[in-house]
Amino acid sequence: MRQLLYVSSRPPSVPEVSVGNILMISRRNNDAAGVTGLLYTDGTRFLQVLEGDEEPVAATFARIKADPRHHAVVILSDRTITTREFGNWSMAYRLPTDEADTFDGKVARLLAGASDSVRATFTGLIATRRTA
């Protein structure tokens, strides 16, 4: 099984991204492909881990790279795993009404089964965005 972790940015030419649309389409596509993982977005940055069989993960990542809402796509980790670290597809997104501590707790629960390096990547980006 393949696990791929990447980061990307919303290009300057795209004024806003509809997180609701991304979530709806991603859940449908990933469920059909057997791809699970976690997507964190603050509307500007995207940090995502994809897990599943080699071909569906590769196809999903190819769609992401071709998507004009993603800019400067960088693979942070690409490795073979024996067991999924993210059994369900989830999206961590902080609404303007969410308290920071409540949101951080939600993300911590979603990352509970993740490897130390994956968990550190997500928590590092979140901490950076929180202070920005």
Q: Is the model more confident about 90 or about 6?
A: 6
Q: What is the pLDDT of residue 90?
A: 65
Domains of the chain: 2-131 (3.30.70.100)
Q: What would the pLDDT profile of 50-109 be if each residue is shown by its tens digit?
A: 999 999 999 999 999 999 888 999 999 999 999 999 887 766 666 667 787 787 888 888
DSSP H stretches of helix in 12-115: 19-33, 54-66, 100-110
Q: Residue 52: which region, alpha, beta or left (left: phi > 0; alpha: psi -120 to 50)?
A: left
Distance CA 42, CA 32 (A): 26
Residue 12: pLDDT band by 50, 70, 90 thresholds? confident
Q: What is the pLDDT of residue 76?
A: 96
97 — phi, psi (to 5°)? -90, -10
SS3 48: strand
